[in-house]
Every structure is written in structure tokens, then in C-alpha cells.
Amino acid sequence: MKDKDIEGLKEAGRASSLALEYARSIIKEGASMLDVAQRIEAFIKEKGLGLAFPVNLSVGSDAAHYTPGIGEKREFTAKDLVKVDLGARRGDLLNDCASTIDLSGEHGKLVDAANEALETAINMVKNGREVREIGREIERIADAHGVKPIRNLGGHGITKTELHAEIFIPNFDNGDSTALEDGQVIAIEPFMTNGEGYVEDGENVEIFQKTGSNPVRSREAREIAGFIDSSYGTYPFAVRWLGKEMGKLSEFGIRRALAELSAAGDMEQFPVLREKKAGFVAQAEKTMVVDGDSCIVLNG
């Protein structure tokens, strides 16, 4: 890996870590979820960096992919268990990190399990380490805390322009003997729950990613496709971003255009992921570079 890439990854990692700290300072009972999301995203941009993806603010049994919609009125409550998942990017160099904020003070077991599993897994990272071994330790820590890892979520490789790439790092021993490689960028991402240990797609979709350029019929869909190409490229975006930046279009018009683009095979959708039995979910995540017998952690 080139030195300039390492420096760019470190810069994105520092900004992402600072954004998580900032999120902790503003996520409170009564705070607007839309305002919090916008402020966190603005915080990253003010560092001179782009967004790898819209900030996720998944609450309770929602594990991932929740970001506020256009005109969202929802506020945080004193009972919320909030997963903040975010990432800055320096050009095409991406970071991905997450932390859980327990406003209720009732879910320490889940939060502690996720944090301990992440740090233990990081200490295992080295060239040649099989991903199943990392998953085994994550599950062992979950068992020790009396909770379950989420089995159909996990860590992943990261390449230039691609946030989920190359390699899957499970949260249990799934038998995968794939080995980590020197110079590989990875994110380790334990999810812990007191539910069944699996997530499924919910109905709500607020995050999309353009993946194709097939022809579409409506003028609105063509206009939005061109705007996405010029503004977001192939990075994920939030519906609310279009609502703000293409104000002449109604939310109904935007969603209709996105549905047409999705039907044409031009758009990937990221529905909110919910724990199958409505169990509470905690998450912890950091990005790192495999470096010989250890790793370079890009998030503090």
C-alpha cells in the first residue's frame, strides 16, 4: 500500500473518530434525529472530507441502515439504545466506524460485549489469520456476557470506492478459513443482541446507491439519475439529501423516481435491518490495515 494511501486512510479515520465523539455530545433525550444526523454529517464535511455513506442512527432493535427521512420529526428518548455508524472519506479512501450510546443505562451488558469483542478481535488481526478464528472469539465473548452475536452481520474488507468488499469477517465461527492478507483494509464489526441473533429487512428504506445506467422513461428519473451521478457517484446517499438539494421535486416525486431507477436495475436499496425477534442490538466498529503480525487501527 502506498504511503499516501495510508495517510489518507488515517485522515479519514481521525475525522470519523472525532465525529463519533461529537455524536456522543449531541445525542440526548429530546434531540431531533434529523438535526443530529445533519450536524454529524456537516461536522465531517467541515474537516474537508466527504461522506462514505449517510450517518446511521439505528435505535433499539434496528441494527443498521436507519437514517432520518425528509422532514423526520422523531426525537431521541430516555429509553433509546442508539447505534451511530458513520464514515468519512478522503477522495476514494474510506473509513467505517460505529459506537453504541445507551441513553437508558439499561443495556450495559450488550454494549460491553460489543466493545470487548471489538478490542479482542483487533488484537487478533495479523497476516494469515483465518476469519473464522476472529468470529470464534467474538462469539465466546458474547456467550460470556450472556448475549448473542448477530450471525448474518459482520465485518468486511474495504477497497478504494467500495465500502463492503473482498472479505467477510463473521461474528461467530462460520468455518471460513479465508486468511487476512498484509496491507488489507478491513472493518471489524461485532453486533450483540438479547434477541434471536439474526436480522431481517424492514420496510423502511432511506439509503440508496446507484449501481447502473440503464435507460428509464420518466423525466424525473432521468434528472435524478444525472444529479446522483454528478453529486454522489457510486457512493450511498440518503433520500433526505435529494430532498434538500433538489427542492423543486416533492418527496413523492423523488421516491417515485427512485422506485423507477430501482426497477430498471440502476439502484441498490438498503432497508433498515431489524433484529428478527425485536431484541435490542449494540454495535462497535473500527477500521484497520493488516500490518504483518498486527494492524494499524485507523480509529482511536
Distance CA 217, CA 257 (A): 10
Distance CA 95, CA 276 (A): 28
Find the Cα–Cα–Cα–Cα dihedral 173, 179, 183, 184, rounded to 10°.
Answer: -50
Q: Please give the grid coordinates belonging to residue 198.
A: 439474526
The tens-digit pLDDT sequence of the chain (300 residues) is 677 899 999 999 999 999 999 999 999 999 999 999 999 999 999 999 999 999 999 999 999 999 999 999 999 999 999 999 999 999 999 999 999 999 999 999 999 999 999 999 999 999 999 999 999 999 999 999 999 999 999 999 999 989 999 899 999 999 999 999 999 999 999 999 999 999 999 999 999 999 999 999 999 999 999 999 999 999 999 999 999 888 778 999 999 999 999 999 999 999 999 999 999 999 999 999 999 999 999 998
CA distances in angstroms from 175 to 95, 149, 172, 276, listed in the order given: 27, 16, 9, 23
Contact criterion met (CB below 8 Å) for 150 and 191: yes
Residues 40-54 pLDDT 10s:
999 999 999 999 999
Task: Fill in the amino acid letter for 7.
Answer: E
The CA angle 118-59-158, to the nearest 5 degrees, is: 40
Distance CA 199, CA 203 (A): 13
Say which residues have a Cβ less than 8 Å from residue 152's Cβ, sequence separation at least 6.
Answer: 198, 199
Contact criterion met (CB below 8 Å) for 163 and 143: no
Number of residues assigned to the chain: 300
Distance CA 296, CA 150 (A): 26
Contact criterion met (CB below 8 Å) for 114 and 191: yes
Contact criterion met (CB below 8 Å) for 5 and 89: no
Contact criterion met (CB below 8 Å) for 64 and 83: yes
Give the residue numbers marked as catalytic.
Answer: 85, 96, 156, 164, 189, 285
- Taking phi over 0 as left and psi of -120 to 50 as alpha, with beta for the rest, 48 belongs to left
What is the topology classification, in CATH, of domain 204-272? Answer: Arc Repressor Mutant, subunit A (1.10.10)
What is the topology classification, in CATH, of domain 3-201+275-297? Answer: Creatine Amidinohydrolase (3.90.230)
**Domain extents for the chain?**
3-201+275-297, 204-272
Distance CA 231, CA 85 (A): 22
| CB contact burial 194-203 (16+ within 10 A = b; e otherwise) | bbebbbeeee
Q: Please give the grid coordinates belonging to residue 11.
A: 485522515
Q: Please give the grid coordinates belonging to residue 15.
A: 475525522
Contact criterion met (CB below 8 Å) for 68 and 206: yes
- Taking phi over 0 as left and psi of -120 to 50 as alpha, with beta for the rest, 220 belongs to alpha
Please tell me the pTM assigned to this model. Answer: 0.96
Residues 37-90 pLDDT 10s:
999 999 999 999 999 999 999 999 999 999 999 999 999 999 999 999 999 999
Distance CA 226, CA 220 (A): 10
